[in-house]
Amino acid sequence: MVRKLAGDVPHTTIYCAPGNPGTGQHGINVPIPAGDVSALVRFAAAESIALTVVGPEQPLAAGIADAFTASGLPIFGPCASAARIESSKAFSKQLMQECGVATAAFQVFDDPGAARAFAADMDAPLVVKASGLAGGKGAVVCADHREADEAIVDLMEHATLGDAGAEVVIEEFMTGEELSVFFITDGSEAAALAPARDHKRRMAGDLGPNTGGMGAYSPVLGADRELVELIRREIAEPVLAGLADRGAPYRGFLYAGVMLTPEGPKVVEFNCRLGDPEAQVVLPLMEDELFEPLLAVGRGGGLGGWQPEPPSRAALTTVVVQGAYPGPVSAGLPIEMPADLESSQLHVYHAGTALENGQLVTAGGRVFGITGIADDLVTAAERSRSGAARVQFEQVDWRPDIGHSEIR
């Protein structure tokens, strides 16, 4: 996001809190934690910040947009009551049900015994989800009832995800291909960005545990204007209307994770933000300015019919991780990366990195997103994979098959 906005408004100073070595190449990092709402309000007021754009979900759920609005500071991001569309999967599912938006059949539980009994009567496979924020790791696809029982015990009794698993959603397993669609919305209008598809499974061939994302690509075969318009009309607009009716107008990025089932698109989940790694393919392909619509909405205005042009190129991101991810990983491992790796055709996005005495080191499980950009997806994939192969640190790993369903 910092890179895209810096390209849109090159003579404007962009601050990123707290930032990382990657954002520091395009803006000025500010050592304020993303969750320190009061400190961020003070900083924005003192620096007369023209617009604050919120990246992660936690400060949105904590009410950063409400605090900025109360202080008269422009901000792009939904209020806390609207951000519940991600911070509470139970709320999100019930909202969809009431608004007539297609999604998997479900039940919500706060009692582990009742949850286990319900799951035992369902057809397998089935899905167990932590209702709260879980960093993209709260959904467990269970092949049989034993796995479902274990997932419920882990989430609700062992609290493996903390308070996020105190309430769970148990839902039917949907078959089909997933699609990620981002909208910029002013509370009533919704402008769709390019659709993308990510790979959440850790290992090649879409095997292994779910992660926060191992790679993504755009465009997606079959995800044409007609399909995106259908998703906008039958999913985004009814949910926006439902939130507005509840006194929680939604102004910000709205992510719809959709399953393309034989019965049509059904919602897997909503996020109240841009998500990685999809943003790392969607934003580099965006030919329109991102800054102007965000500024209009952040100042309390509307989109006024604004719609971005469909992209003319392709992008594919390979996520470079530590080998043990999504398990425990090491911080402080030295990273070797060629100085000439970054180019107009290859973007290097920092995720889990830090600087220690001038040395770039690991600071998380997902370390980089390496985005190749080209006129076609095959060439974009080649550039991305070649770039990933040039990054070195202890136990470096990445999936070599991102986009395999479309690149054979």
> For 155-164, how does the pLDDT look when each residue is reduced to its tens digit (9 = 90+)?
999 999 999 9
**Are 60 and 81 a contacting pair, CB within 8 Å?**
no
Neighbours of 366 (CB within 10 A): 23
Rounded CA-CA distance 309/372 in Å is 20
pLDDT given at position 295:
97
With a CB cutoff of 8 Å and minimum separation 6, the contacts of 228 are 181, 192, 195
Structure tokens at 323: 């080998």
Rounded CA-CA distance 267/12 in Å is 38
How much is the average pLDDT of 162-184? Answer: 94
Q: What structural domains does the chain harbor?
A: 2-83 (3.40.50.20), 105-172 (3.30.1490.20), 177-298 (3.30.470.20), 314-397 (3.90.600.10)
pLDDT tier at 186, thresholds 50, 70, 90: very high
Q: Which amino acid is at 148?
A: A
What's the Cα-to-Cα distance from 348 to each of 280, 320, 339, rounded to whole Å?
9, 10, 11
* Closest by CA position to 166, among listed 109, 244, 128, 226: 109
Give 35-88 pLDDT, tens digit per residue.
999 999 999 999 999 999 999 999 999 999 999 999 999 999 999 999 999 999
Structure tokens at 259: 């399953």
Helix crossing, 80-87 with 89-99: angle to 10°? 100
pLDDT at residue 405 tops 90: no
Helix crossing, 145-152 with 112-120: angle to 10°? 170
Across the chain, mean pLDDT equals: 95
- The strand pair at 168-172 and 177-185 is best described as unpaired
pLDDT at residue 136 tops 90: no
Angle, CA of 136, 138 and 140, to the nearest 5° = 115
Cα distance between the two ends of the chain:
31
Give 206-244 pLDDT, tens digit per residue.
999 888 899 999 999 999 999 999 999 999 999 999 999
Rounded CA-CA distance 101/93 in Å is 9
Q: What percent of the chain has pLDDT over 90?
A: 95
Helix crossing, 237-245 with 80-87: angle to 10°? 130
pLDDT given at position 351:
94
Angle, CA of 367, 368 and 370, to the nearest 5° = 160
Cis before 249? omega within 30: no
Distance of CA 110 to the CA centre of its chain: 26
Q: What value does the CA radius of gyration of the chain take, rounded to a whole number of Å?
A: 21
Rounded CA-CA distance 194/30 in Å is 31
pLDDT given at position 137:
74
Give 342-384 pLDDT, tens digit per residue.
999 999 999 999 999 999 999 999 999 999 999 999 999 999 9
The 8-class DSSP code of residue 174 comes to P
pLDDT at residue 257 tops 80: yes
How much is the average pLDDT of 250-278? Answer: 95
* pTM summary value: 0.93
pLDDT given at position 138:
84
pLDDT given at position 146:
94
pLDDT given at position 304:
94
pLDDT given at position 196:
97
Q: Which amino acid is at 339?
A: A
pLDDT tier at 247, thresholds 50, 70, 90: very high
**Are 400 and 384 a contacting pair, CB within 8 Å?**
no
What's the Cα-to-Cα distance from 313 to each of 162, 285, 310, 356, 387, rounded to whole Å?
42, 6, 9, 37, 19
The 8-class DSSP code of residue 254 comes to E
